[in-house]
Structure 1
Amino acid sequence: MLPAIRQDEYLYEIPQFGVEKDDVDDFMGQLRAFHGEFSEYFCRQEPRDHFFNYMSGRFGDLKRKTAEPIAIRTSGRSPVRARQRNLSHAIWDEPGILRKYHETVRTEMGAPDGVLIFDESGFVKKGKNSAGVARQYCGTVGKVENCQVGVFAAYASRHGYALVNKRLFIPERWFGDDYDERRKKCEIPPDTVFKTKPELAAEMLREAYHRQRIPFRYITGDTVYGKSPVFVEAADSCAGVTYMPAVPPIPGYGSVSRL
């Protein structure tokens, strides 16, 4: 069953984007300007162009927004393999891109009383060749499904909200000997070790606190993180920050246990 917030009767009004006709007319220009802010982090023009076409394709009306249909829509069939290689093997400065993006978030919506939010999201997949794919609980459909799961850090303030970091959750079974070939095929780094979702979230929290790129005063997360000693310890180590997690219901008290 889907949680109450995912059903028709929402617990609160979800903020809406204020999109005007002029915003739509000039969208590609704005997207190109946004893309230009990251151009220095690509070593060559080709991956830089592929990156822009992929970004624009993600905003289109395609039913499947993966590399192949986006490549066909934006450039014809010939560059499909090149576009796929760009996502898997092209070299770009990911730490630099993330740093620049955090600077943008800070400028556009940073506030001293901002909130860091931790949660997971599932992506339904077909087949078994995607990194970390397995039959596991998928929150987007509310049941166990063949999917990948990511742990995400989001930022919210009175000025807006944005995703600010991510980690791919790789199930423990993927680290068994029977998954050796699959790990190699998916090019998972050999030194990768199993980490729980709260451990991945704790990593991102410590990074956010020590880097001090985006100001925040509060931390929150779902019950997976609220009941985790690892994540609670990471939150406790952030001086001057208030931690307000969701926690499992206490028998006889129901939702009163939600802080």
Structure 2
Amino acid sequence: MKTTKTPAVAAALSVAAQRWPHRLNELIHTISTRLTRPETRHTTRDLLRGLLAPLARKNCWTLAEHAGHPTPHRLQHLLSRAQVDEGGLIEDLRTYTRTHLGDQDAVLVLDETGDLKKGTATVGVQRQYTGTAGRVENAQVAVYLAYATPAGHALTDHRLYLPRSWTRDPERLRAAGVPDEVSFATKPELARQMISAALAAHTPARWVAADEVYGANPHLRHALEEAHLGGSPVSVDTR
């Protein structure tokens, strides 16, 4: 489709494509204090470059190949065994997002997504509904918070949903490495925690958008009213 804005849009996309390597380096610099070892910083940069690349499939093998690694071991180590301050990374991401996208009329967008799994050892996995498949499947589900403004959008936080089948089984929690202080929380409660953390970090926002799972929850609605945030429930029923 051609419009009178097409040349301007194409020019903007071209400029954005030229700028993103600089933006990536800037982001790596922002989080560098959380990645104390040089090899961890280098591998993190390779991981992010791969995730941004137009690869047909993205896993440790394809990302390693894209980065020129002989094996996926470095990426696997980063994702499963490296000591990384995840909470600190999220704080840095909020700061970076606020610096570049901060807007008093921003929208905090809530949604969940699932990763289909075959086994039972992955933390949080059970048979449950996931929009990824559109039905009940063996899956791991997490709730995400995005920050959206006219200037752009970014994922800024997440919480893994732990079903009661997990939180009622201390041995299973210990085997999966779940911290002792983690307890059961509904998805709307996880959403409330993320919004509270964002506001405590002085993230400017005016609205929250979410589907009925969240919009119909009285505790979350009350928290939004207390924070003077407008709510916008979004219907996802496309039948």
Name the TM tier (shorter chain). 0.7 to 0.9
Shift in CA distance, 154/29, structure 1 to aligned 2, threshold 3 Å: closer
Equivalence for 1:169 = 161
| In structure 1, distance between residues paired with 2:39 and 2:180 | 29
- Structure 2 counterpart of 1:106, from 85, 90, 98: 98
Equivalence for 2:232 = 244
Q: Deviations over 1:196-227 (max 9, x none)?
A: 10110111111122221x21112232111112
SS in 2 for 1:37: helix
Greater helix share, structure number: 2
1:31 paired with 2:31, answer: no
1:201 paired with 2:191, answer: yes
SS in 2 for 1:208: helix
| In structure 2, distance between residues paired with 1:244 and 1:22 | 33
Mapped contact 2:94–2:198 kept (Cα < 8 A): no
Mapped contact 1:152–1:167 kept (Cα < 8 A): yes
Q: Deviations over 1:80-115 (max 9, x none)?
A: 334222222322333333233222222222211111
Shift in CA distance, 61/86, structure 1 to aligned 2, threshold 3 Å: same
| In structure 1, distance between residues paired with 2:166 and 2:10 | 40
1:184 paired with 2:174, answer: yes
| In structure 2, distance between residues paired with 1:34 and 1:211 | 18
After TM superposition, the structure 1 = structure 2 runs for residues 1-259 of structure 1, keeping only pairs within 5 Å, are 20-21=13-14, 23-24=16-17, 27-78=20-71, 80-177=72-169, 180-181=171-172, 183-212=173-202, 214-238=203-227, 240-246=228-234
SS in 2 for 1:184: helix
Percent identity, aligned pairs only, is 32
Aligned partner letter, 2:92? K
Q: Deviations over 1:6-25 (max 9, x none)?
A: xxxxxxxxxx9986345446
Structure 2, gaps ≥5 residues long:
1-8
Mapped contact 2:188–2:220 kept (Cα < 8 A): yes
TM-score, length basis structure 2: 0.82
Structure 1, gaps ≥5 residues long:
1-15, 250-259
Q: Deviations over 1:100-154 (max 9, x none)?
A: 3222222222211111121211222232332112221111232112221110111
